Amino acid sequence: MYLTFYGLAEKPFNATPDPRFLYLSPAHREALAQLLYGVRERKGFIVLTGHVGTGKTTLLHALRQRLDRQTAISFVVHSTLPFDGILEYVLEDLGIAKGGESRAQRLIALNHFLIERERTGENTLLILDEAQNLAPATLEQIRLLSNFETPTTKLLQILLVGQPELKAKLQLPELAQLTQRIGLRCQIPPLTLHEIREYIRTRLRIAGARDLGLFSDPAVDRIATYSGGIPRLINIVCDHCLLFGYADQKRQIDRPIVNQAIEYLEEGTQAPRKVWRLRGLKPRRLARWAVGTLAVALASTVVGLALAPDTAVLGLVQSVRYLLDP
C-alpha cells in the first residue's frame, strides 16, 4: 500500500525471518561466526539463546545459507513434540528410510545414515528451535544422540536454540551430562540505539528505499525506547509508522507519527470504547454508523479504482483510520 509512495521495492519490515534482511550487529556477527565454527569443527552440542524477537530464527536461516552442501540439516521447529516425534521428524527431514516402527530401528537407520555421511566426508546438523519448551526427559534423549560418534569425531552436530529460560533448564541436575557436553554457547542481546538506527537503514536499503533517512532521529529514539532494542518490535512499529505516514502523506516519519503508531499498537484493542467516549454514541448506534461509513468508503473505492487507483486507496485508508482512531 505504501511502497510506491516511499519508493520501496518491497516491504522492509516484514515479520518473516528473511535472511536477506539480516542486520549483523557485532553480537549477531559473533554469534554467527561461532555457529559456523561449531558446526564445521564438529563440536557436538551448541547452544544459542536470546530473548523473544531478537532474531534467532533469522540468524539460523543465515547459518543454513552459509553452510556448504556437504552439511545435511534437519530444522525442527515443533518443540512440543516428544522424543519419538522429533526422531520421526528428523528421519523424514533428512530423507532417511525409517526401516521399522520401533525406536531402536529408527535409531539404527539414523546411525547408518550418519556413518555413511562421515565416510564420504559429509556433516549432519540437527537444529532444535524453541528448545526451552523441551521436557528434561526429551533433552536427555537428545543428549544420547550425541553418542553417535567415532573415536575422533562427532557424527551429529546438535544446535539447541531458545529463550533465556533454556539456560536455566540446562542447569537442572538431571541434565548435568548434557551440560557437560556443550562445546559452544552463543547469546544475542537486544540492539543498542546506534544499532537500531543502522538496523532500520539496512532494511530500508535492502527494500530499495531511495531515502535511507526516512525515519528522523527523534523518531528512531522513540522507536528505541518503545522496542527495547528487540528487532521484532522494531519491525512491527516501523511497519505501522509507514502506514500512518502514508495515510497522512508524510514523506518522512517523525516522532508524532511514531507516537500515533505506538498508541494504536498499545490501545488498539480498546478502540471501540474510545470511539464511544469521543463520539457519544451507544454501541448499537455506533455499529450502524461504522457499517454505513465503511460501505460508502468501499463503494467509493470500487468506483475510484478505475479512475484514480492511488487516490481511491488513500481515501479508504483514511476512512478506516478515522473509524479506528478518530
Domain ranges of the chain: 1-12+191-271, 26-188, 281-326
pLDDT at 156 over 80: yes
Q: What is the pLDDT of residues 68-98, one digit of tens each?
A: 888 999 999 988 899 999 999 999 999 998 7
Q: State how far the Cα of 233 lies from the Cα of 226, in Å rounded to an integer.
A: 8
Q: What is the pLDDT of residues 204-237, one digit of tens each?
A: 999 999 899 999 999 999 999 999 999 999 999 9
Tell me if 4 sits within 8 A of 314, measured CB to CB: no
Burial (CB count <10 Å: 0-12, 13-18, 19+), residue 26: exposed
Conformational region of residue 118, where left means phi above 0, alpha means psi within -120 to 50, and beta covers everything else: alpha
The least confident of 100-114, 152-166, 231-245, 277-291 is 277-291
Give the model's pLDDT for residue 99.
65
Confidence class of residue 312 from pLDDT cuts 50, 70 and 90?
very low
Q: What average pLDDT does the segment 32-59 reach? A: 95
Conformational region of residue 85, where left means phi above 0, alpha means psi within -120 to 50, and beta covers everything else: alpha
Mean pLDDT score across all residues of the chain: 85
Give the model's pLDDT for residue 60.
95
For residue 12, give the nearest of 142, 231, 266, 202 by alpha carbon: 202
Task: Indicate if the alpha-carbon torsion angle 233, 234, 236, 241 is positive or negative.
Answer: positive
For residue 70, give the nearest of 15, 127, 118, 25 by alpha carbon: 118
Q: State how far the Cα of 156 lies from the Cα of 48, in Å rounded to an integer.
A: 17
Burial (CB count <10 Å: 0-12, 13-18, 19+), residue 151: exposed
The rounded percent of the chain whose pLDDT value lies above 90 is 75
Give alpha helix (H) positions in 26-135.
Answer: 26-40, 56-66, 83-94, 103-119
Spell out the SS3 assignment of 115-178. Answer: HHHHHCCCEEEEEECCHHHCCHHHHHHHHHHCCCECCCCECCEEEEEECCHHHHHCCCHHHHHH
pLDDT at 244 over 70: yes
Say which CATH topology domain 1-12+191-271 has: Helicase, Ruva Protein; domain 3 (1.10.8)
Q: What is the pLDDT of residues 273-293, one digit of tens each?
A: 333 333 333 444 444 444 444
Give the model's pLDDT for residue 233.
97
The rounded percent of the chain whose pLDDT value lies above 70 is 82
Q: What average pLDDT does the segment 7-21 reach? A: 94
Q: Is 180 helix (H, G, I), strand (E, B) or coil?
A: helix
CATH code linked to domain 26-188 = 3.40.50.300
pLDDT at 185 over 90: yes
- Residue that has been written with the C-alpha cell 564420504 in this structure: 120
Confidence class of residue 265 from pLDDT cuts 50, 70 and 90?
very high
